[in-house]
Each structure stands twice: as structure tokens, then as C-alpha cells.
Amino acid sequence: MTYLLLNPKANNSKGADDAKAWAESTNTVCEFVDVTGIDDMKAFFDGLEPSDEVILTGGDGTINRFANDMYGYEFKNPLWYVKCGSGNDFFNDVKDAAVDGKIELAPYLKNLPLVTVKGIKRRFVNGIGYGLDGDVCKYGDIQRATSDKPVNYTNIAIKLLLGKYKLKKATVTVDGETAKYENVWLSPTMKGRFYGGGMMVAPGQNRLDPDGRVTSVVLYKKSRLLTLSRFPSIFKGEHVNYKGWITVKTGKHTKVVFNEPCALQIDGDVIDDVLEYEVDTEV
């Protein structure tokens, strides 16, 4: 039996329709299961027959919740992932490994970093956004809750760049080495290369790095117009070529502290009024 786990809330509540459309287009015979209705995910997998396989569908938020629920679990059945989300940053990062639109998921659920923020501890699959990128997700959530129109994260980012976002001071520590920055726009830490629906903020990051390292990025520059003109380069990962505008470091332990709170996102899930976060890859 093939079980297709769908998230009806994914892709602006189109997740169920998207999953069923994929199954139909690929002639996949399966039993559809609402992933939000499974109370104990590990018990669900424990109850599978040896011949069963599972396909998880949804977006980055769906993968994040699944990864946290199942972290440390040894999968005995084939486990696949099919994108049915709005951003699909995980899929974009690993799409070269896809076969007929499916990704073998289990290898990517190991050695996930742990973020600690406001007493919350959570594994993440793609990355932590902090600063402008966190605020973009925050206002995107507000827009989604108050309007039926699709959220345009790029437009939100431009509006924040042009005046609403207040630049921060940041203290960033990577593997014991501390640096201080003025005029900070964002300071994410990444397990994958992409976040924000296609921004390649960490082009050199390898999510299967054998040492489990993550990439920390600090983007800083007082000029709003200069930052606005360079901002599109993030979508191709070319922003790392601008010296004196960005710092990129890899490591196993990262701590970021701002001088005043702002929003933070974990694989798209927003936590507001955050002063600091810490990432550890060895727990």
C-alpha cells in the first residue's frame, strides 16, 4: 500500500487538491491521509507493513513539522517527498535528486541543527531568518490572514527596504569567534541554500555536509537605495560577491544577538519580538 500524507493547509489551503492532482497525473494508486489528523506520527509508521511506502506532500512548513515529530526515527519503509507548497525551498535545494517529482526524504532528516529562541527548541530543515527576512514572513502572515490574495513576499521586502524596517546592531558568534556589525538588514543561519521562496541566501551551503556545518550570513549597509539595488542578486546567490556588504561564515555553533527585538522565522514559522537566537549542530 502507498500512503500519501497530504496537508490541506499547505499552499494557501490548496494542499489537498495539489496532492491529489499529482497522484492523478502520475497514475499513483494510493490512500490519502490527512497529516494534520495523525496524533502520533511515529505510531503511524510503526504500524506499517514491510511492503508499504509513504509519500509526504506539502511545503516547507509541512516538512519542518514532520522532521521535528520524527527526528531520530529509523525509517524501515520507503519515504518520499513531493512538493505541494507555496515556497518549496527544500525541493528547490535538492531537486536534482528528484525522480518523477519525488525526493527520497529520509537522508535529509538526519543531523538537523537545533535552534533555541525564547525558550523554544526546534530542528530546522532550511534555515532561520532574522531581521528583514523575519519581518517579511511576519507581514506575509498578516496579509494571508486578512486577504484572499496570494502573498507577494518580494513586494513586502521592497516596502520594508524603502523605509519601514529599522536597521539593527548585531553581535554574531560562530564557533567561538565574535564580531559586531552596524546597520544590519538580516542575519540568517542556513542548513540549505534557499529560503523565502527562492532566495539563495547561502549559495555555498551543503545540507548534507558530513561535519553538519551551517552557514551564517550577515547583510549590512546603511544605504537603503544601494541595498535595494543589490537585493535581487540574492535570488541567484550573487550577493556574496559584494565585499563590505555581506559576511558569510560556516560553523557548528552560532549565536546572533540584536540590540532590539524583531521577528524571526524558522522554515517559515514566525516568532515575534526576538532579541537573540542560538543554533547548535551537535545536539
Task: Report whether 256 contacts 94 (CB < 8 A).
Answer: no
159 and 142 assigned to the same domain: yes
Side chain identity, residue 263: A
Domain boundary among 57, 79, 109: 109
25 and 52 assigned to the same domain: yes
Model pLDDT for residues 149-204, shown as the tens digit of each residue:
878 888 898 899 988 899 999 999 999 999 999 999 999 999 999 998 889 999 99
* Domain CATH code at residue 121: 2.60.200.40
Q: Which residues contact 232 (CB under 8 A, 6 or more apart)?
A: none
Model pLDDT for residues 142-151, shown as the tens digit of each residue:
988 888 787 8
239 and 272 assigned to the same domain: yes
Predicted model pTM: 0.94
Q: In angstroms, rounded to a whole number, what is the distance separating the alpha carbons of residues 150 and 142?
A: 12
- The more confident residue out of 197 and 281 is 281
**Which range of residues forms the domain containing residue 66?**
2-109
Q: What would the 3-class secondary structure string for 43-106 be?
A: HHHHCCCCCCEEEEEECHHHHHHHHHHHCCCCCCCCEEEEECCCCCHHHHHHHHHCECCEEECH
Q: In angstroms, rounded to a whole number, what is the distance separating the alpha carbons of residues 255 and 172?
A: 6
Q: In angstroms, rounded to a whole number, what is the distance separating the alpha carbons of residues 176 and 153?
A: 34
Q: In angstroms, rounded to a whole number, what is the distance separating the alpha carbons of residues 129 and 132?
A: 8
136 and 103 assigned to the same domain: no
Model pLDDT for residues 214-262, shown as the tens digit of each residue:
999 999 999 999 999 999 999 999 999 998 899 999 999 999 999 999 9
Stretch (H or E) spanning 276: strand 269-280
Strand order from edge to edge, sheet including 79-83: 31-34, 2-6, 53-58, 79-83, 103-104
Does the pLDDT at position 117 exceed 90?
A: yes
164 and 231 assigned to the same domain: yes
Q: In angstroms, rounded to a whole number, what is the distance separating the alpha carbons of residues 171 and 64?
A: 27
Q: How many domains does the chain have?
A: 2
Domain boundary among 91, 109, 127: 109
Q: In angstroms, rounded to a whole number, what is the distance separating the alpha carbons of residues 87 and 10?
A: 10
164 and 251 assigned to the same domain: yes
Does the pLDDT at position 86 exceed 90?
A: no
152 and 274 assigned to the same domain: yes
252 and 135 assigned to the same domain: yes
Q: Strands 189-190 and 103-104: what pairing?
A: unpaired
21 and 149 assigned to the same domain: no
118 and 75 assigned to the same domain: no
Per-residue pLDDT band for 119 (boundaries 50, 70, 90) equals very high
79 and 58 assigned to the same domain: yes
* Domain CATH code at residue 36: 3.40.50.10330
104 and 118 assigned to the same domain: no
